[in-house]
Amino acid sequence: MTSSNARQRLERFAAALPYSTVTEAARALGIHQSKLTTQINRLEKDRGRPLIERAERGRRMRPTPFSGKLAAAAKRLTGLGGRL
């Protein structure tokens, strides 16, 4: 995760976790849903495992156990602990 956009992907991923759907998170972050989905997919590919269980009808998206650790690390690395 050394690309120029890695930090932004981490920040957006961590910020998206409290929301029910990726669409809702993207709207709150002020970006298109497809961009957030692409960034999360890229993080999942980089880490080699799923980070969220996608929302389905009647069920909200949920973080995987690994994603909580990644989000906490992202908050520490980016210095955004209280702002995400």
CATH classification at residue 52: 1.10.10.10
The residue among 70, 34, 35 whose CA lies nearest residue 52 is: 70
CB neighbour list of residue 74: distance below 8 Å, 6 or more residues apart: 10, 11, 13, 14, 80, 84
**Gyration radius of the chain over CA positions:** 12
Determine the average pLDDT of the residues in 61-74.
86
User: For the whole model, what pTM was predicted?
Assistant: 0.80
Band (pLDDT 50/70/90 cuts) for residue 78 is low
Number of independent structural domains in the chain? 1
Residue 39 lies in a domain: yes
DSSP-assigned letter for residue 59: B
| Domain-located, residue 84 | no
Structural domain containing residue 37:
6-78
Is residue 83 in a domain?
no
Would you say 74 and 13 are in contact if contact means Cβ atoms under 8 Å apart? yes
Range with lowest mean pLDDT among 10-14, 20-24, 38-42, 80-84:
80-84
